[in-house]
Structure 1
Amino acid sequence: MNVRRLIPAAALAGAVALGATALTACSGASAAGGNTDGKLAVTASFYPMQFLAERIGKEHVTVTTLTKPGVEPHDLEITPKQTGRLGESDVILYLKTLQPAVDKAVAQSGVKNVVDAGTLTELEAHAASGHDDHDHAAEEHDHDHGGAGKDPHVWLDPAKYAQIAKGVGAALGKADPAHAADYEKNTATLVTELGSLDTEFKDGLKTTASRTFITTHAAFGYLAERYGLDQEGISGIDPESEPSPARMKDLQGVAAKDKVTTVFFETLAGDKTAKALAKDTGLKTDVLDPLEGITDKSQGADYFEVMRSNLKNLQKALGAK
């Protein structure tokens, strides 16, 4: 005898519906994120946001980044496919004005939980030159992607990055209340680590032969201000742009006056300009990484390792004692 014939059609339909409901609930699929693994779907605009999401969210999140390793974030273009996927996110973490294409895609996404890291700390204006007598460099910097002269490279200051981390942790907890306690705990751990890194920089750069460093990318304004250094950017905000002959002459004078030993370049941009200045002034070259992305060429596997490499390179270049 076939037992299935004894089950009324209505009951069978109800059982199928109940099973489908249970399957959906177990899979964790959500209308907001379309994520089927039960985790919070977080989209990060570029590496510093990705790092925070991964360290704070840990096993409760699935993190996708819009800027792939090796891609210069400032020049990122968003594909229609990426824009469509962005709308499936539960949470979006980005830094407004850093990447115009991302700003536009986020505005079109319709995602409820959108976090602009720039609102979680105070953004400041920084000139490409740390010296008052280079007004043209400051003017050049005022027209950068930071918007109204605001410098977006805030993650290079561990103290400000910690403020952003707290905001990200709160946002993840709001989007996923069931794991809010874990997000809070992970945030506290990360903030403590960032505090230790801040102390390392303060102690490591307290006494140096020079306080001035020259870099192709004027991304280190926050770091310079935090630790009492003077940043001299060769080409302003764009590491690939050619500096004017007048700027190169200015920097030769700065190098001689301030006992500069090294011209820094970054891993995601070419070192042609840095080598040209170094050749003209008899200086060395080294890497100072703005941490906009991690690649196999990076001097470390994550934020903390690269920042400590930056500290080591700065100590060597500045003659730390």
Structure 2
Amino acid sequence: MRRRLFPTLLVLAALAGCGDQAGSAGRTADGTFEIVTAFYPLQFLSERIGGDMVSVTNLTKPGAEPHDIELTPRQVGDVAAAGLAVYIKGFQPAVDEAIDLEAKDKAFDAASAVTLLPAGGEDDHGHEHEEAAGGEDPHVWLDPVRLATIADQLAERLAQADPGHAAGYTERARALHTELTTLNTEFADGLKNCQRRELVTSHTAFAYLAARYDLHQVGITGISPEAEPSPQRLAAVAKEARETGTTTIYFETLVSPAVAETIAREVGAKTAVLDPLEGLVDQTGDYFSVMRQNLTALTSGLGCS
């Protein structure tokens, strides 16, 4: 059960965090605008758009699985002291709670910039996920087109919060939008002609990517990577993998590959990494390098030419 952060703790932590700041509200001692981000893709956007004009703190440590993180008092203080908090509402309950209590008037919900897909329910072939239907899928960053829209709106929000550097935010967001458009073209071209379009994944993080490029996601588990699939679900996925001639079962970087390996053995397939980019494992890479690695894994596993 998730431990809750009570308001008293949040207030005390916020006061402690503010006390650590030598600069004015929302700025470091040297005047740099402070941004707190919930997890890696939002850190990436903030750093690329903010450039040297911002200082970015990521609440999810490298290599940590972000869904159920808990915040330390110091991190809650960081939220309270920042000039802008960037998050996706509904993805990380502890972050939602801290922002609701300490930064509601200076927060940017990245998901509010785009149309979201429903979470849970059935996959593209009518098989029910382990999780009940309801809510919205937060994994918008895996669609470069949606991420470009989020980048544009984040730049606008930064320009409002820090108008002295608005032109720079706009210029860098425009350049990032162009790069994301190029990435979208690479995915569209790379996944146009494939022998298979079924995407069997360890959990259903890839609905946006699948929808953008006409793939059919089959998740072993639902939105939460920690969910345990039932024997019936494992049997259903194995059956579908055999029927569709699936040769690759994809697992992700921050959770155990055991379930994907079980399905792969059952159907005589191999396994490969498909990174949902919820956290950056290799600190020498970035969003673009990991997405291009994903494209290579997809074109190989799906038999694309």
**Same fold? TM cut 0.5:** yes
Q: Report whether the alignment pairs 1:234 with 2:220.
A: yes
Structure 2 counterpart of 1:179: 165
From 190, 195, 204, the equivalent of 1:218 is: 204
Q: Report whether the alignment pairs 1:303 with 2:287.
A: yes
Q: How many residue pairs get matched?
A: 285
Structure 2 counterpart of 1:55: 48
Whichever of the two has the greater Rg, that structure is: 1
Instruction: Report the secondary structure of 2:67's partner residue.
Output: helix
Instruction: Report the secondary structure of 1:213's partner residue.
Output: strand
Distance 1:224 1:48, change over 3 A: same
Instruction: Report the secondary structure of 2:281's partner residue.
Output: coil
From 168, 192, 195, the equivalent of 1:209 is: 195
Gaps of 5+ in 2: 1-20
What is the CA RMSD across the aligned residues, in angstroms?
1.8
Q: Separation in 2 of the partners of 1:246 and 1:286?
A: 24
Summarize deviations over 1:20-73 as a string: whole Å, max 9, x none.
Answer: xxxxxxx9931x225212110000010011000000001000000100101111
Percentage of pairs with the same residue: 46
Structure 2 counterpart of 1:93: 86
Structure 1 counterpart of 2:260: 274
Give the superposition deviation at 1:283: 0.6
Q: Report whether the alignment pairs 1:44 with 2:30.
A: no
Q: Report whether the alignment pairs 1:157 with 2:140.
A: no
Q: Separation in 2 of the partners of 1:165 and 1:246?
A: 41
Give the superposition deviation at 1:256: 1.6
Summarize deviations over 1:201-248 as a string: whole Å, max 9, x none.
Answer: 000000000000111121000000000000011011222332111111
Q: Report whether the alignment pairs 1:140 with 2:131.
A: yes
> For 1:6-17, what aligned pairs fall within 5 Å after superposition?
none
Distance 1:286 1:64, change over 3 A: same
2:205 and 2:276 in contact (8 A); partners too? yes
Instruction: Report the secondary structure of 1:276's partner residue.
Output: helix
Give the superposition deviation at 1:281: 1.1
Instruction: Report the secondary structure of 1:277's partner residue.
Output: helix
Q: Which amino acid is the alignment partner of residue 244 of structure 2?
A: D
Q: Separation in 2 of the partners of 1:209 and 1:127?
A: 27
Q: Separation in 2 of the partners of 1:110 and 1:254?
A: 46
Q: Separation in 2 of the partners of 1:291 and 1:123?
A: 18
Instruction: Report the secondary structure of 2:221's partner residue.
Output: coil
> For 1:16-27, what aligned pairs fall within 5 Å after superposition?
none
Structure 2 counterpart of 1:64: 57
Q: Report whether the alignment pairs 1:254 with 2:244.
A: no
Structure 1 counterpart of 2:6: none
Q: Separation in 2 of the partners of 1:81 and 1:195?
A: 38
Distance 1:133 1:124, change over 3 A: closer
Q: TM-score, normalised by structure 2?
A: 0.89
Q: Separation in 1 of the partners of 2:297 and 2:119?
A: 22
Give the superposition deviation at 1:141: 5.1
Q: Separation in 2 of the partners of 1:187 and 1:141?
A: 37
Q: Separation in 2 of the partners of 1:44 and 1:92?
A: 6
Gaps of 5+ in 1: 1-26, 143-147
Structure 1 counterpart of 2:99: 106
Distance 1:254 1:193, change over 3 A: same
Give the superposition deviation at 1:111: 5.8
Q: Separation in 2 of the partners of 1:112 and 1:253?
A: 50
Summarize deviations over 1:188-211 as a string: whole Å, max 9, x none.
Answer: 000000000000000000000000
From 108, 118, 129, the equivalent of 1:115 is: 108
Q: Separation in 2 of the partners of 1:270 and 1:222?
A: 23
